[in-house]
C-alpha cells in the first residue's frame, strides 16, 4: 500500500497490504511469546518499558518528521505527541510495579480470600491516524506492562510511524513475538483476530460506526473490548468565566490536529451576558491561526486527512448556514502552494442551534459552532442532549459551579477551565456512544487484567 504525505499527496513509501493469513501468523507469534513474557517479573517488564520511554524521546525528531508527513499535523504538535507517548510507558511501568495481589478481609475465620491479577493473554489493538504514535503507546504500554502480548493494526494512513515504533520496541529489548505489527486490510485483519479464539481482548480507537461492527464481531469468541469512539464535546462558557483565558483554551482545544481529535470541543455554548465578548475574541484568534504544511515552523493548522474529511466539514457548514447560522470566519478550504486542497480554514459559526448537523454529529474538523444559553440548567441540558459522552469543558471563576457542573455532565472527561485534558497518568475514555474502557494510569492496566479470586480454607472442612 502506498503511504502518502498528508499535505502534498506525494508517496512517502510502501508497506505490506496484509490480510487474514498474516494476521493469524501474528497471533501465532504472540501466543508463542506469551508464556515467557507473562512469566517475567514485573520489574523486568517495567525496565523494558522504561527503556522504550527513553528511546521514544531520544528519537523525537525522527518520529516528529514522520508523524507530520503522514498525518499532516504541525511539527510542534508531533513533538508533543512523542512526550505524551513516552509518558504512557512511564505510567504503565510505575503502575505495574504497584499492582499487587490483594488479600480480602474474610468474615469466616476458616477461609482466607485473595484476588490475583493475571494478564488476559494475547490482545489486539486497532489504532487511528490522528495520533499515530500516542494511540499505539496508550494500548501497547499497559498490555506489555501486565504481561500480555500484542497484535496491532495501525491506520492505513499512518503505518510508517507504527513501523518506527516497532523498531524502538525491539531495540529496547522486547522479546520477539511480544509485539506484532500487521499493516493492511482492516476488515480482513480484524475478522481474523476476532474469530480466532486466542485473541482475548481488542482495544479500538476510531469511529462509533466501526466500534459497533467490532462489538458484533467480538461476540462469537466473547472477546473483551475497550472502545474509544466518537465524541461531541460541549464547551460551556459561563458568565463568570475569565473570557480571554476561555478563548485561549477554546483555540488550543478546538484546533489541535486541525480539529481532528475525539476530545475537540464540538459545540460551543456561551452565556448570553458574555456571548458578544467571547465570539469577538474567538473569531479574531481563529482568523490569526497560520495555515500551511505541518513542517513549516509557523503552521498551526495543517491539512485534513482526506477529501472525505473536507467534504464532511463543508457539508456541516452548508447545513448550518442553510438553517440560519452566521459565518464569522473561514467556511472553505484555502490554497497552499504545492499541496492538496485539504486545508480547511478555522471556521466559526454564530447563532448555532440544536437542529443543525454540527450540533448533532461529531465534526472532526476545524469548525466551531457557537450557541447562546440563559442559565446553568439550560447549559447542562443542551450539553447532555447527545448520545455521545467523551469529553466536556466548562469555564467559570466559581469553583462550586465548576464542581456542580462537572458532576452533572454525562461524559468520561471534564476540562474545568482548561481546553487540553490529555494526560497519560489519568483515565481517558467515555460513555454512551463514545464507548467504554479507560486508558492511562492504573485504569489503563485494569483493561488488560483478569482478576482471579482464590478462596483458601484454613481448616479442611
Ligand atoms: C483521540 O482523539 O482519540 C485522543 C485524543 C487525546 O488523547 O488527546
**Which of 22, 70, 81, 262 does the annotation list as catalytic?**
262
Assign 459 a pLDDT band (cuts: 50, 70, 90): confident
Q: Which 8-state DSSP code applies to residue 458? A: S
Inter-residue contact 154 to 127 (CB < 8 Å): yes
Q: Are residues 284 and 361 in the same domain?
A: yes
What is the CATH number for 344?
3.40.309.10
Q: What is the pLDDT of residues 94-137, one digit of tens each?
A: 999 999 899 999 999 999 999 999 999 999 999 999 999 999 99
Pocket test residue of 71, 82, 125, 130 for ligand 1, highest count of atoms within 8 A of CB: 130
Q: What is the mean pLDDT of the chain?
A: 97
What is the CATH number for 203?
3.40.605.10
382, part of any domain: yes
Q: Find the 454 Cα to ligand 1 centroid distance in Å.
A: 38
Rounded distance between C-alpha atoms, residue 283 and residue 330, angstroms: 9
What is the dihedral angle through the alpha carbons of 163, 169, 171, 176, rounded to the nearest 10 degrees?
-100
Q: Are residues 128 and 163 in the same domain?
A: yes
Cell numbers that stand for 49 in this block? 518499558
200, part of any domain: yes
Pocket test residue of 262, 415, 421 for ligand 1, highest count of atoms within 8 A of CB: 262
Q: What is the pLDDT of residues 2-58, one digit of tens each?
A: 999 999 999 999 999 999 999 999 999 999 999 999 999 999 999 999 999 999 999
Q: Are residues 72 and 219 in the same domain?
A: yes
Pocket test residue of 67, 83, 263, 415 for ligand 1, highest count of atoms within 8 A of CB: 263
What is the dihedral angle through the alpha carbons of 200, 206, 212, 214, rounded to the nearest 10 degrees?
-30
Q: Are residues 170 and 282 in the same domain?
A: no
422, part of any domain: no
With vertex at residue 63, the alpha carbon angle to CA 59 and CA 66, rounded to the nearest 5 degrees, is 150
In 351-361, which positions are buried (b, 16+ CB within 10 angstroms) versus exposed (e)? bbeeebbbbbb
Q: Are residues 339 and 440 in the same domain?
A: no
**Which of 228, 361, 362, 376 does the annotation list as catalytic?**
228
Q: Which ligand 1 atom is the nearest neighbour of the CA of 138? A: 7
Q: What is the pLDDT of residues 137-150, one digit of tens each?
A: 999 999 999 999 99
Q: Are residues 78 and 193 in the same domain?
A: yes
Q: Are residues 66 and 196 in the same domain?
A: yes
With H, G, I as helix, E, B as strand and everything else as coil, classify residue 381: helix
Pairing of strands 233-237, 388-389: unpaired
Q: Of the candidates 126, 128, 143, which has an alpha carbon nearest to the alpha carbon of residue 67?
A: 128
Rounded distance between C-alpha atoms, residue 311 and residue 180, angstroms: 35
How many Cβ atoms are within 10 Å of 438's Cβ, its own excluded?
21
423, part of any domain: no
pLDDT at 349: 98
Q: Find the 392 Cα to ligand 1 centroid distance in Å.
A: 13
Does residue 408 have a pLDDT over 90?
A: yes
Q: Are residues 181 and 51 in the same domain?
A: yes
Strand partners, 204: 126, 227
Written as one string, the DSSP assignment of 46-76 is HHHHHHHHHHHHHTHHHHHHHHHHHH---HH
Cell numbers that stand for 144 in this block? 506489555
How many Cβ atoms are within 10 Å of 374's Cβ, its own excluded?
10
Q: Of the candidates 226, 249, 199, which has an alpha carbon nearest to the alpha carbon of residue 28?
A: 199
Q: At which residue does the C-alpha cell 466559581 appear?
A: 398
461, part of any domain: no
Q: Of the candidates 460, 461, 440, which has an alpha carbon nearest to the alpha carbon of residue 140?
A: 440
Q: Are residues 173 and 290 in the same domain?
A: no
Q: What is the pLDDT of residues 312-360, one digit of tens each?
A: 999 999 999 999 999 999 999 999 999 999 999 999 999 999 999 999 9
Q: Are residues 441 and 383 in the same domain?
A: no
362, part of any domain: yes
Q: Which ligand 1 atom is the nearest neighbour of the CA of 130? A: 2
Q: Which ligand 1 atom is the nearest neighbour of the CA of 205? A: 3
Residue with CA closest to ligand 1 atom 8: 422
Q: Are residues 351 and 434 in the same domain?
A: no
Note every long-range contact of 278-285, with CB atoms under 8 Å and residues 24 or more positions apart, other chains counting: 278/237, 278/243, 278/246, 278/247, 278/370, 279/328, 279/348, 279/350, 279/370, 281/243, 281/244, 281/247, 282/247, 282/250, 282/251, 282/348, 282/368, 282/370, 283/328, 283/329, 283/348, 285/247, 285/248, 285/251
Q: Find the 73 Cα to ligand 1 centroid distance in Å.
A: 14
pLDDT at 108: 93
Measuring from each residue's beta carbon to the nearest atom of ligand 1, which residues come in under 6 Å? 130-131, 134, 205, 228, 261-263, 422, 428
Report residue 350: phi and psi, to 5°: -95, 170
Domain that holds residue 409: 233-387+391-416
431 is catalytic: no
Rounded distance between C-alpha atoms, residue 406 and residue 145, angstroms: 32
60, part of any domain: yes
228 is catalytic: yes
Global model pTM greater than 0.85: yes
Q: Of the candidates 263, 228, 249, which has an alpha carbon nearest to the alpha carbon of residue 431?
A: 228
Inter-residue contact 107 to 340 (CB < 8 Å): no
Q: Are residues 240 and 290 in the same domain?
A: yes
- Domain count for the chain: 2
Does residue 461 have a pLDDT over 90?
A: no
401, part of any domain: yes
Amino acid at each position: 500500500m502506498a503511504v502518502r504525505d498528508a499535505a502534498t499527496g506525494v508517496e512517502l513509501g510502501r508497506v505490506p497490504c496484509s490480510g487474514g493469513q498474516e494476521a493469524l501468523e501474528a497471533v501465532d507469534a504472540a501466543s508463542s511469546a506469551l508464556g515467557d513474557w507473562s512469566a517475567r517479573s514485573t520489574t523486568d517488564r517495567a525496565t523494558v518499558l522504561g527503556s522504550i520511554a527513553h528511546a521514544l524521546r531520544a528519537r523525537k525528531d525522527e518520529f516528529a518528521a514522520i508523524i507530520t508527513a503522514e498525518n499532516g499535523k504541525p511539527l510542534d504538535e508531533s513533538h508533543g505527541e512523542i512526550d505524551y507517548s513516552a509518558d504512557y510507558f512511564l505510567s504503565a511501568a510505575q503502575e505495574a510495579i504497584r499492582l499487587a495481589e490483594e488479600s480480602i478481609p474474610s468474615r469466616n475465620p476458616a477461609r482466607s480470600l485473595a484476588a490475583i491479577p493475571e494478564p488476559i493473554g494475547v490482545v489486539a489493538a486497532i489504532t487511528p491516524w490522528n495520533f499515530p504514535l500516542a494511540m499505539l503507546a496508550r494500548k501497547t504500554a499497559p498490555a506489555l506492562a501486565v504481561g500480555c502480548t500484542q497484535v496491532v493494526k495501525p491506520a492505513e494512513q499512518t503505518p510508517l510511524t507504527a513501523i518506527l515504533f516497532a523498531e524502538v520496541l525491539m531495540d529496547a529489548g522486547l522479546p520477539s513475538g511480544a509485539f506484532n505489527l500487521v499493516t493492511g486490510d482492516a476488515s480482513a485483519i480484524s475478522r481474523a483476530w476476532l474469530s480466532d479464539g486466542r485473541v482475548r481482548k481488542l482495544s479500538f480507537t476510531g469511529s462509533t460506526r466501526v466500534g459497533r461492527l467490532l462489538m458484533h464481531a467480538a461476540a462469537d469468541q466473547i472477546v473483551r473490548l475497550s472502545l474509544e469512539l466518537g465524541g461531541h464535546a460541549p464547551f460551556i462558557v459561563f458568565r463568570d468565566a475569565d473570557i480571554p483565558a476561555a478563548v485561549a483554551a477554546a483555540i488550543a482545544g478546538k484546533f489541535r490536529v486541525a480539529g481532528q481529535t475525539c476530545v475537540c470541543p464540538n459545540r460551543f455554548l456561551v452565556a448570553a451576558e458574555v456571548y458578544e465578548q467571547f465570539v469577538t475574541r474567538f473569531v479574531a484568534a481563529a482568523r490569526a491561526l497560520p495555515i500551511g504544511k505541518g513542517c513549516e515552523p509557523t503552521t498551526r493548522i495543517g491539512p485534513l486527512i482526506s477529501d472525505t474529511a473536507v467534504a464532511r466539514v463543508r457539508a456541516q457548514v452548508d447545513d448550518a448556514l442553510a438553517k440560519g447560522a452566521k459565518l464569522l470566519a473561514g467556511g472553505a478550504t484555502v490554497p497552499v502552494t504545492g499541496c492538496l486542497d485539504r486545508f480547511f480554514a478555522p471556521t466559526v459559526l454564530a447563532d448555532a442551534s440544536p437542529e443543525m448537523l454540527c450540533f448533532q454529529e461529531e465534526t472532526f474538523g476545524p469548525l466551531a459552532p457557537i450557541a447562546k444559553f440563559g442559565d446553568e440548567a439550560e447549559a447542562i441540558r443542551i450539553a447532555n442532549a447527545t448520545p455521545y459522552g467523551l469529553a466536556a469543558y466548562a469555564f467559570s471563576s466559581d469553583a462550586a459551579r465548576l464542581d456542580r457542573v462537572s458532576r452533572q455532565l454525562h461524559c468520561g472527561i471534564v476540562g474545568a477551565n482548561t481546553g487540553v485534558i490529555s494526560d497519560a497518568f489519568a483515565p481517558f475514555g467515555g460513555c454512551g456512544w463514545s464507548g467504554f474502557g479507560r486508558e492511562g494510569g492504573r485504569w489503563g492496566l485494569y483493561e488488560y487484567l483478569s482478576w482471579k479470586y482464590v478462596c483458601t480454607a484454613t481448616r479442611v472442612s
